[in-house]
Amino acid sequence: MWVKLALKLFMRELKRGELTIISAAIALAVLTVFTLSAVTDRIRLNIEQKSTEFIAADRRLDSNHAIDSAFLNEAQQRGLQTAELTYFDTMLFANDDMLLVSVKAATESYPLRGKVIIKNTLDGDTFEVSSGPKKGEVWLSESIFYSMKLQVGDEVEIGAGRFVVSHVLVREPDGALFSFTGNRRIIINQNDIAATKVIQPGSRVFYRFLFAGDETTLSDYYSWIKPQLKDNQTWEGIKDRQSPLGDNLTRSSQFLLIAGLLGIILAAVAMAVSAKRYCERQYDPVAMMKTLGGSRSTIRKMYLLHLSLICFFSISLGLLIGFGLQTLGADYLAQSMGTTLPNAGWKPWFMAIFIGAVCAVMFALKPLLDLFDIPPLRVLRRNLGDTLAIGRMHMAMSALTVFGLMWLFSGNLKVSVILYGASALVVAVLFGISRLIFGGGRRLGLSPANSWSLALATIQKRANANAVQLISFALAIKLMLLLVVLKNDMIADWQAQVPQNAPNAFLINIAKDEVAPISAYFEQHGIEASEFYPVIRGRVQALNNEKYARDVSLQEGEKKDEEAKQGVGRELNLTWAQEMPATNDLVEGEWFNNDGSAQVSVEQGMAEGLKIKLGDELTLLINNQEVSARVTSFRKVDWGSMQPNFFMILNPEALAHFPATYFTASHVSSEQNKVFNQLLMQYPTISVVDIQDRLLQAQSIINQVSLAIGFVLAIVVLCGTLVLISQVQASLAERMQEIVILRTLGARGSLIKQATLYEFLLLGLIAGLVAAIVSDVTLLIIQQQVFELPGKLHPKIWLFGPLSGGVFVALVGYSMVAKTMRQNTQGLLRALS
């Protein structure tokens, strides 16, 4: 019996539009979470897939000694793709010439991710291949052709093996971004190593295994291999690399995560407002049913059935719309990126359904319970039940629900606490402000016929409702401001790391007498270049005459000093300079003085690692000579600036008497390639590290991330707009009553319109001001604690926040009530009835 009545009432309210608000709010929550989750998940997967090209695999295993082949066998049995690489330096012989080159021996399955770029001839077009050279072939980098006057098809010798030069090697996906060994790279087949007879006991060889597959299999494989790894073997992915790219990928993932969290907050606000309004509109029907003999139990079952039907319908609608939105958005992004976005996993579906259901239950349950307590006498006294208070327990449970959903969605407690705390601060501040301002609305002494006076009086009359509206507006504005500014700061930081005119070629092994003519050649042809830096190899030997530990061969009677300080463990590239490089920042101490003593400036991170203090005496071993220098300063070095950087810089008095080679960084445009290659032909002993393709690859990924973030930001702005619409729509009935009363008392239509516009404008200004201040403080915390960026304040948004908030809320709010104000009094009374 009650089911039939409930369904009949449900269909009646559905036709009248009574369920529109709460249904739209649940659908909004679901489509917001689903769209953001699906789009960010697909973007994240695409970014990670693109970024794995930098290591030519999903994971790699590095070792300074031969790796057990059982590792490869196990990976293959688990369904992972594998490739094997071997690196070593040797001499290349051709045309009675010889040249020291860096050899990469690769199996034909290399690369697992990305493509190798090659050419058939020096002047030919580049093209991509997805496998390494065949047995008996060798690919040479372009500089080797110039240095040894080779052509494709010539024969070269590597050790005891003879090979045919089959292609020009342009770029490897996992090529070193920069190395002082130069750009003389060659690739041979892994099976040709034995024929060269180059690798002998004691040879310096580097080994690498590549792996590709799904994340679950890779994680399981790592769990199996981890206990077997030696201390000098490293397992890593692209995010594990200590590089600007790895940092940027982590930051982009965190930004997309924050966007999703903000979407959850917006959805929760919309749901809470709509659920309360829906239940308030059911007070009269419930009172009527009670007077007609309806029991509390029957009414409870009817409305719980209504809630269940609404949830099912709204969640289904939200998933449908969300799927369409994320498909359209992903297709647009894929076309803009020139790629195909992978499909999202199951998480967006689960999160959207779960969050939609939880929001509906948690935010509708208390208003429904209040609804069941409506007294039958309300049919005679319409104000009974209007003052039902929101319980503290319900508020606490709702607050904990929002935080729990954020934590569940993100899996990151720190980010959830920061964003939740900032939103709670907005609520607390605005609640106090609203009570202070709205309570004093009638004491401003404005004229009764003034539209500002009417606006303030209306705000003061609906103090509690306007406080809720103000909080909702401020939360939406705060979240949008936060994402806009954070997006701009992140992209500006990324673009600063890889600027458009960044050096894309490094010239090394320049003789001292070649510096002047090369510099003149650059100036003559308009090629931008940095300063020429002298380079000497040296090892940190001792600190304050206390020697660092060194590796020795463990022959009979020879042991390692385990009690000695742990040093760098390798030789460093040292330089000397009279002035500090412009890209370095002095963080402590003073730059070199001219007292004639040997002095050294140390990079901040190395100083911390070696526990060096200002004034310490550092001893360096250069060739077979020891050089002692006093530490005068510590520098902060931006290793992602693409500029020449050093861990240690000494003054000329310390190192100028040592023979050294020089190197510089230059920016060579495509129009200058020809004259640049002519320079290389004039100076064949110079090695060039060409990183132009690597920079283009990095800039491409940054552009893709920026585009993706912009799309996600647009979704959040749209969700914020929908929250404002739902909040204004919840007050339409009350506004209709006010308009009827004002018209009855003789108020002009223009006065009512202006007062309504001013009301929304004032609410938007206040909400925007508080939102701007809290957003800036939140940004400062997020940049420092989450993104590990130097935090800074943004005073511009203190002005932009109130202005944009006022305009935004005024336009959205006024447009929502404009139709109501255009209706005549008779039409409004009919709608209210």
Residue count of the chain, please give it: 833
CA distance 496 to 492: 6
Position 684 scores a pLDDT of: 67
Position 14 scores a pLDDT of: 67
End-to-end alpha carbon distance in the chain = 28
Would you say residue 91 has pLDDT above 80? yes
CA distance 688 to 534: 16
Max mean pLDDT among 4-8, 525-529, 772-776 falls in 525-529
Token pair in block for residue 662: 């020089």
The full DSSP string for 427-464 is: HHHHHHHHHHHHHTGGGS---TT-HHHHHHHHHHHTHH
| C-alpha separations of 325 from 31, 253, 328, 354, 600 in Å | 8, 21, 5, 19, 59
The full DSSP string for 703-758 is: HHHHHHHHHHHHHHHHHHHHHHHHHHHTTHHHHHHHHHHHHHTT--HHHHHHHHHH
Which pLDDT band holds residue 183 (cuts at 50, 70, 90)?
low
The full DSSP string for 120-152 is: SSTTS-EEEESS-PPTTEEEEEHHHHHHHT--T
Closest to 698 (Cα-Cα) out of 169, 112, 175, 117: 175
Q: pLDDT for 389-440, tens place per residue?
A: 455 666 677 778 777 777 776 667 777 787 777 777 777 776 776 666 655 5
DSSP 781: H
Residue found under tokens 């990924």: 701
Position 445 scores a pLDDT of: 44
Q: pLDDT for 753-794, tens place per residue?
A: 778 788 778 878 887 887 787 777 777 776 676 656 666 777
Q: Is 680 left (phi over 0), alpha (psi -120 to 50) or beta?
A: alpha
In terms of pLDDT, which residue wins out, 383 or 477?
477
CA distance 145 to 193: 22
Would you say residue 246 has pLDDT above 70? no
Give me the mean pLDDT over the 74-95 stretch: 89
Q: 165-174, 303-312, 328-337, 578-587: which has the minimum mean pLDDT? A: 328-337
CA distance 705 to 676: 33
Encode 443-467: b = buried (16+ Cβ within 10 Å), e = exposed: eeebeeebbebbbbbbbbebeebbb
Q: What is the pTM of this model?
A: 0.56
Max mean pLDDT among 145-149, 249-253, 287-291, 649-653 falls in 649-653
- Crossing angle of helices 692-729 and 463-497, in 10° steps, is 170
- Residues of the chain above pLDDT 70, percent: 67
Would you say residue 452 has pLDDT above 90? no
Would you say residue 249 has pLDDT above 60? no
Residue found under tokens 């705000």: 459
| C-alpha separations of 177 from 124, 617, 642, 727 in Å | 24, 33, 9, 53
Residue 595 one-letter amino acid: D
Position 444 scores a pLDDT of: 46
Q: 38-52, 99-113, 445-459: which has the minimum mean pLDDT? A: 445-459
Position 437 scores a pLDDT of: 60
Give the bridge partners for 82, in sequence order: 211
β-pair type (59-63, 533-543): unpaired
Which pLDDT band holds residue 191 (cuts at 50, 70, 90)?
very high
Spans of all domains in the chain: 1-53+245-411, 56-236, 429-499+692-833, 505-550+564-690
Max mean pLDDT among 35-44, 311-320, 345-354 falls in 311-320
Position 137 scores a pLDDT of: 92
Give the bridge partners for 60, in sequence order: 210, 236
- DSSP SS3 for 606: helix
Position 178 scores a pLDDT of: 44
Q: Hey, which bits of 30-115 come out as E strands?
A: 59-63, 81-94, 97-106
- DSSP SS3 for 204: coil
CA distance 169 to 184: 10
Q: Tell me the average pLDDT of the chain.
A: 75
| C-alpha separations of 391 from 235, 277, 398, 682 in Å | 54, 16, 11, 84
Give me the mean pLDDT over the 202-229 stretch: 86
